[in-house]
């Protein structure tokens, strides 16, 4: 589904990522883990097509080069990015934002929202304005379900979430895997994988892939942290 080869990314001529190689198949859960400042969010932005980045190398989606495509063109091909910090958008309430981008009846949206633990009163408020971190992340998960993408990139989806919200994220990931979606999970912590194991784990340190393997890497991270790969 996604193949990233020899990816180099600069920001303002400063090297952030250096020679990244990762791949994701349909139905796979792939984790990219690393300490703060290792380049994890930059990788997500590069996959999504952030034009502020200088990007070199290959990014192929379903066998086709997407490096020259804009973020909206990549979205239309089936790539969805959940932001690390979803932005506030004043003047556009959540119901309007969601209803204008989908064909689903609104009653069905409300039922899905209830399963995710989203309070109905949030729909009448401006998108993400005054929302807690957990509420913002749940709204993004709802968007992902409604948009039905092929590849879902979750950038620190567990950041700032309480225990109950993390369980919601776990169920979301399990459901997306059952639907044969590709999931790229960018995170600091192994706790997000309590009820679902990643098929592959990449350890990103100082802009490079310092290690890769299966879910057995999670136990090493819990025991030693990232210093094992520095």
The predicted-structure confidence for 40-99, as pLDDT tens digits, reads as follows 999 999 999 999 999 999 999 999 999 999 999 999 999 999 988 888 999 999 999 888
Give the pLDDT score at 4.
97
What gap in Å lies between CA 202 and CA 212, rounded to an integer?
4
Hey, what domains does the chain have and what are their CATH numbers? 26-37+79-229 (3.40.50.300)
What does the pLDDT average to over 10-37?
94
- The tokens for 63 are 């066998």
What gap in Å lies between CA 155 and CA 184, rounded to an integer?
8
Compute the Cα dihedral for 11, 56, 86, 158 and give only its sign. negative
Categorize the per-residue pLDDT at 203 as very low, low, confident or very high, splitting at 50, 70 and 90.
Answer: very high
Q: pLDDT for 114-135, tens place per residue?
A: 888 888 899 999 999 998 888 8
Whether residue 202 has pLDDT greater than 80 = yes
Categorize the per-residue pLDDT at 229 as very low, low, confident or very high, splitting at 50, 70 and 90.
Answer: confident
Number of Cβ within 10 Å of residue 228's Cβ equals: 14
Give the pLDDT score at 115.
87
Whether residue 19 has pLDDT greater than 90 = yes
Whether residue 137 has pLDDT greater than 90 = no
Whether residue 1 has pLDDT greater than 90 = yes
- The tokens for 131 are 């929302």
What gap in Å lies between CA 169 and CA 154, rounded to an integer?
10
**Quick one: residue 206, left, alpha or beta (phi over 0 = left, psi -120 to 50 = alpha)?**
left
Across-strand partners of 209? Answer: 204
Whether residue 181 has pLDDT greater than 80 = yes
């Amino acid at each position: 589904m996604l193949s990233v080869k020899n990816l180099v990314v600069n920001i303002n001529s400063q090297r952030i990522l250096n020679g990244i190689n990762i791949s994701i198949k349909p139905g796979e859960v792939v984790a990219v883990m690393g300490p703060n400042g290792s380049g994890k969010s930059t990788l997500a932005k590069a996959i999504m097509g952030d034009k502020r980045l200088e990007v070199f190398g290959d990014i192929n989606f379903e066998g086709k080069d997407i490096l020259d495509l804009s973020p909206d063109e990549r979205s239309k091909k089936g790539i969805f990015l959940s932001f690390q910090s979803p932005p506030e958008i004043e003047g556009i309430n959540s119901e309007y934002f969601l209803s204008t981008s989908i064909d689903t009846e609104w009653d069905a949206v409300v039922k899905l929202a209830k399963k995710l633990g989203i309070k109905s009163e949030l729909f009448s408020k401006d998108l993400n304005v005054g929302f807690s971190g957990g509420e913002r992340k749940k709204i993004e998960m709802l968007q992902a379900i409604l948009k039905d993408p092929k590849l879902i990139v979750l950038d620190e989806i567990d950041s700032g979430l309480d225990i109950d919200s993390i369980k919601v994220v776990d169920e979301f990931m399990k459901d997306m895997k059952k639907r044969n979606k590709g999931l790229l999970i960018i995170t600091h912590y192994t706790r997000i994988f309590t009820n679902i194991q990643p098929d592959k784990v990449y350890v990103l340190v100082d802009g490079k892939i310092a290690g890769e393997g299966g879910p057995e890497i999670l136990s090493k991270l819990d025991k030693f942290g990232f210093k094992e790969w520095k």
